[in-house]
Structure 1
Amino acid sequence: MLTPSRIRVALTAALLLPSLLVSCSNGSEDGDLRTQELDWKDCPAPSEAEGGGESPSPLPGGVPWQCATMKTPLDWSKPHGATIGIALIRAKASGDPDRRIGSLIFNFGGPGGSGVSTLPAFGQDYTKLRTRYDLVSFDPRGVGRSAPVECEDNAQLDEFFQQDAMPDDNTEVRQLVDRTEKFNGACEKNSPKILPHVRTTDTARDMDLMRQVLGDRKLHYFGISYGTELGGVYAHLFPKHVGRAVFDAVVDPTQNPEQGSLGQARGFQLALDNFAEDCTSQVTDCPIGDTAQDVKDRIAKLLKDLEKKPIPGVFPRELTQTAATNGIAQSLYSKDFWEYLTEGLQEAYEGNGKILMLLSDSMNGRNEDGEYSNITAANVAINCADEKPRYTTNDVEQKLPQFRAASPLFGDYLAWGLVSCTDWAVPGAADHPDVSAPGSAPILVVGNTGDPATPYEGARRMVEALGKGVGVELTYKGQGHGAYDSKNKCVQGAVDGYLLDGKVPATGKVCS
């Protein structure tokens, strides 16, 4: 299942930004990519790969967003061979040039999310950080306009996302496997050059080249969701190059894919429980149930009914059980979107599935014109290149009871997602990433107790895996995926204090 770092981006496609497909080329003229100069220009309008829309609006005060392309080796084992382009975006620091620290590089997660699209959508949230940093983000290799992975076309993806992802019998299992093999085969056919080179270790090496090309002695970094895994891998490979770094919405680096999916099942179930409790505890009546259990029972019945008989969604498509489950999951990424879930459920109970389908579309990277970004293709390609285990249908069937116990609603959905890398063209690298980083500067690790996609326990395990004296844990008692963008003053004060002034909070600090 996709784990987009920030749901708001998916729901505001007009803020998504630019993209041009990048092909392979030879290296820089002098053969040393560290000496290349970036040609910063006004950002173009988004391509289909990044979701369409208009060029990013300037920040308050008229500060423009600028885009450039950095050359990096296609294959890091052949650093002087063919290159690809990595798309970058920046907004220059606003404060006193003498107090400028350097560049602050963001990765917003996925994997498969476009940083070039995401940063402008949230640039205003980082106004304080921009006083001492250039805000910089990028499309990781395989994503957006950085040599994007291409698999199926829009019509094929419509079919792909209408499939039954929670099979109940052997026929449906075979159909799911056949459809997955067709998708994976299209990726191999359409993206043979880039597929072997989209591992997180490759992107971490791109970031170190980026640091040098941007002129920074240290890498100052803000990673969210999968961006925390990328940051941990970078710290492992280049511990002496780590500057001030923050990990928010932390991926557990100790888990294999099965354990990670099981943790997500528990996380999304917790978020659903919290949503139901919140709805039924309000002064006004909850329109989708009398008690928290009633809310969940009615949702379960809706999904069971949709399995037998889908309802109209976004014409001409129908809202299926799978699309509804996907849409519900999408809305649980942020408490700000619980109201949309309530409204979507109300309409679905009356036979109208449009809102839940729009939520599902946003998860899948489909815009209102029926065009898909490449987030699904990139997500599958990066995960399958990183993750060594390959699960069979027999494996999933044996694990289903455990997943259902973790979440009656999301268990089947997440368990069957484990077959997505079966028969993938590229072998996976490891059971889980290595993030041990002895000698690194302190890294602030922020965990949210109500996070559905990256459960809170992952923050403590990241701290332990980074090693003694590196990870500094900060807990936020809140809801949603991530903590900094919750606008919690305690969290933002701790993060800003570290990034701007180098003040390391006491480990174990709690914000609520």
Structure 2
Amino acid sequence: MATAVLAGLALPATANADPGRDPGDTDRVPARYAGQQFHWQPCDGQPELDCATMAVPRDWHHPDAGPDLSIAVSRHRTTDRAHRTGTLMEAAGGPGGQGLLRPMDLAQGAPTVAAAYDIVSFDQRGVGRSTHAQCQTPEQFQQFLAGDWRDRSPEAIDRVVANSRALVAGCVEHSGDLLPYLTTEQTVHDMDLFRSLLGEKKISYYGASYATMIGAYYGTLFPHRVERMVLDSNIGFEGTWEQYELGQPMSFQRRFEQDFLPWMAARDATYHWGTTPEEVEAHWEQRRAALHDRPITEGSLTLGPNQLDNGTISAIYSDKAFPLLARALTALDDWQGADPAAKQTARQLFGQYLSPGFLAEYFSVTCGDTKWTKDMDTWIERGAKNTARYPLVGARTLAFSSVCALWPTDPAPKVKVTGAHLPPVLMLNSLHDPATYYEAALGAHRALRGSKLVTVTSNGNHGQYPGSDPCVTGTVERYLLDGRIPEHDLTCPAPSAG
């Protein structure tokens, strides 16, 4: 069990507090939170991990108002207690990912780090085994994803907006009293309570994807609580979610056209989809048009054009998933006569995109963290432009952004990331990352003063550590284990896709 360190625990202040001290170092947290003890038990399904829960205020700015939330936490303890460096905290990406079991992945992928650190993580507020949000049933969620988002007819546009309105109404009905508090700014205060209950004056941190934003916000509000920090595949956390998400159609299209299509064209002898990227893309468009006219239905599976897009989007996050996407695509040429293994891959890839729980958290955070344009005509116009120029992800601009245009809560207090009073932060990003695109990483790097950026070339993967690139591995582990960070930004050549 770990008891609270009362002196290290504080209420949040505004994001504009005196930068010479931690903004959280003002007032004490109520004793009912500061005095908690963890009752660690083996995690369900992961006996090598310990799990526990902690209570947190619904609203850290008014900790005595409203019922508490429950946060599920976990730890993987180093067996070498004599040489323990400290505690390394993780958080999940998304928003909507679950972090509770992540320490096992890092411990297995980075055993030298696991030998030096206790690795801890949590399901952030709103998701997983913590107090979670709910918006839609699986059936309602499938309706949100149905149809063809490229269709720009008035009827189709009205249907998309109506689906988004229904999703928001479901969130309000089922989770309305929770939505204003599912924000990144609230989450980082949960993290600092976790740190204090662990008995740690400082923590180190590793976060990938959206967890880079969580880390940057934590470092802004609690800079003197940070020992070392690695941010891998970076959100544009210096700006708004609207600004950041408007860049994603370009980066997903770039990844698709410049990485996946050439990869598949080079393997025409295996997949028979074309010998050039242009031929493969034409084949893909033919299959998509056929699904628009005649979606594949089999049992609970409905495979239409949006499902093709969504499965492709998920597969191009990593080079390792390219063969899965290619195999699934071959099943679309002749569904009835397709190889059973290819059909099963297609069912999994195209039929299991995200989940209602994931999107409930995703929209709560992205719509509630920062301001969004509320004018629906603006989103209809932007959706048309993105559909024409970057159709893979651009076609869903209206569906996703209209949810935030309709979102019922005011934006959270703005956290301005500067890097003030933080130790040097190590950042990683690949050039062709589809989700956390390189241009956004550069903006985040400039905002986080004193950070060092490792640019990974010849690789478009989302998430660089742990992995097989010795340059990345060596750089990260010299920093985490020995405190040595590059003097300047550097470039790591990564292995090309196999």
TM-score, length of structure 1 as denominator length: 0.84
Mapped pair 1:412 → 2:402: no
Distance 2:231 2:78 in 1: 22
Mapped pair 1:178 → 2:162: yes
- Per-residue Cα deviation, 1:260-316 (whole angstroms, up to 9, x for no partner): 233211211121121111222359455221211111121122222222221235x23
Q: Find the counterpart in structure 1 of residue 320 from structure 2.
A: 336
3-state SS of paired residue (1:303): helix
Identity within the alignment, %: 29
Distance 1:164 1:120 in 2: 39
Correspondence for 1:440 among 399, 413, 422: 422
Offset at residue 123 of structure 1 (A): 3.6
3-state SS of paired residue (2:373): coil
Q: Find the counterpart in structure 2 of residue 397 from structure 1.
A: 380
Q: Find the counterpart in structure 2 of residue 11 from structure 1.
A: none
Offset at residue 423 of structure 1 (A): 2.1
| C-alpha distance 387-305 of structure 1, shift in aligned 2 (>3 A) | farther
Offset at residue 453 of structure 1 (A): 0.5
Correspondence for 1:247 among 216, 221, 231: 231
Distance 2:220 2:133 in 1: 26
Structure of higher CA gyration radius: 2
Q: Find the counterpart in structure 2 of residue 502 from structure 1.
A: 483
Distance 1:285 1:361 in 2: 24
Distance 2:286 2:370 in 1: 35
Q: Quick check: 2:417–2:447 contact (8 Å CA) kept in 1?
A: yes
Give the 5 Å matches for 1:158-237: 158-237=142-221
| C-alpha distance 448-214 of structure 1, shift in aligned 2 (>3 A) | same
Distance 1:284 1:301 in 2: 20
| C-alpha distance 394-311 of structure 1, shift in aligned 2 (>3 A) | same
Q: Find the counterpart in structure 2 of residue 383 from structure 1.
A: 366
Worse-superposed segment, 276-285 or 452-461: 276-285
Distance 1:105 1:406 in 2: 40
Worse-superposed segment, 148-157 or 119-128: 119-128
Q: Find the counterpart in structure 1 of residue 278 from structure 2.
A: 293
Q: Quick check: 2:363–2:403 contact (8 Å CA) kept in 1?
A: yes
Distance 1:243 1:406 in 2: 44
Distance 2:352 2:429 in 1: 25
Offset at residue 229 of structure 1 (A): 0.7
Distance 1:214 1:105 in 2: 11
3-state SS of paired residue (2:234): coil
Offset at residue 32 of structure 1 (A): 4.5
3-state SS of paired residue (1:364): coil
Distance 1:300 1:67 in 2: 47
Q: Find the counterpart in structure 1 of residue 404 from structure 2.
A: 421
Distance 1:456 1:167 in 2: 30
Q: Find the counterpart in structure 2 of residue 479 from structure 1.
A: 460
3-state SS of paired residue (2:462): coil
Correspondence for 2:353 among 326, 341, 363: 363
Offset at residue 207 of structure 1 (A): 0.8
RMSD: 2.2
Offset at residue 223 of structure 1 (A): 0.7
- Per-residue Cα deviation, 1:457-491 (whole angstroms, up to 9, x for no partner): 22221121112x2x111111112111113321110
Q: Quick check: 1:391–1:418 contact (8 Å CA) kept in 2?
A: no
Correspondence for 2:474 among 469, 493, 502: 493
- Per-residue Cα deviation, 1:21-69 (whole angstroms, up to 9, x for no partner): xxxxxxxx9825223211100113xxxxxxxxxx12x5xxxxx111000
Q: Find the counterpart in structure 2 of residue 142 from structure 1.
A: 126
Q: Quick check: 2:430–2:455 contact (8 Å CA) kept in 1?
A: yes
Q: Find the counterpart in structure 2 of residue 94 from structure 1.
A: 79
Distance 1:169 1:83 in 2: 46
Offset at residue 93 of structure 1 (A): 0.9
| C-alpha distance 361-224 of structure 1, shift in aligned 2 (>3 A) | farther
Letter in 1 for 2:441: A
Distance 2:43 2:438 in 1: 37
Q: Find the counterpart in structure 2 of residue 307 from structure 1.
A: 292
- Per-residue Cα deviation, 1:441-464 (whole angstroms, up to 9, x for no partner): 111011111211001122221121
Distance 1:348 1:409 in 2: 18
Correspondence for 2:98 among 114, 129, 132: 114
| C-alpha distance 505-283 of structure 1, shift in aligned 2 (>3 A) | farther
Q: Find the counterpart in structure 2 of residue 511 from structure 1.
A: 492
| C-alpha distance 485-360 of structure 1, shift in aligned 2 (>3 A) | farther
Q: Find the counterpart in structure 2 of residue 39 from structure 1.
A: 39
Mapped pair 1:156 → 2:136: no
3-state SS of paired residue (2:280): helix
Worse-superposed segment, 144-153 or 304-313: 304-313
Letter in 2 for 1:358: Q
| C-alpha distance 134-271 of structure 1, shift in aligned 2 (>3 A) | same
Correspondence for 1:280 among 256, 265, 268: 265
Q: Quick check: 1:147–1:194 contact (8 Å CA) kept in 2?
A: no
Q: Quick check: 1:327–1:357 contact (8 Å CA) kept in 2?
A: no
Gaps of 5+ in 2: 1-28, 337-342, 494-498
- Per-residue Cα deviation, 1:322-366 (whole angstroms, up to 9, x for no partner): 11100110100111110011011111122367534422444313x
Q: Quick check: 1:323–1:356 contact (8 Å CA) kept in 2?
A: no
Distance 1:283 1:491 in 2: 32
Q: Quick check: 2:96–2:358 contact (8 Å CA) kept in 1?
A: yes
3-state SS of paired residue (1:109): coil
TM-score, length of structure 2 as denominator length: 0.86
Q: Quick check: 1:31–1:80 contact (8 Å CA) kept in 2?
A: no
Distance 1:182 1:117 in 2: 32
Distance 1:392 1:169 in 2: 19
Letter in 2 for 1:435: V
Distance 2:161 2:354 in 1: 19
3-state SS of paired residue (1:486): coil
3-state SS of paired residue (1:409): helix
Tell me the number of residue pairs that the alignment of Structure 1 and Structure 2 aligns. 456
Mapped pair 1:464 → 2:464: no
Letter in 2 for 1:498: Y
3-state SS of paired residue (1:349): coil
Distance 2:246 2:408 in 1: 25
Q: Find the counterpart in structure 2 of residue 50 from structure 1.
A: none
| C-alpha distance 316-112 of structure 1, shift in aligned 2 (>3 A) | closer
Q: Quick check: 1:109–1:226 contact (8 Å CA) kept in 2?
A: yes
Letter in 2 for 1:114: Q
Q: Find the counterpart in structure 1 of residue 87 from structure 2.
A: 103
Distance 2:281 2:171 in 1: 37
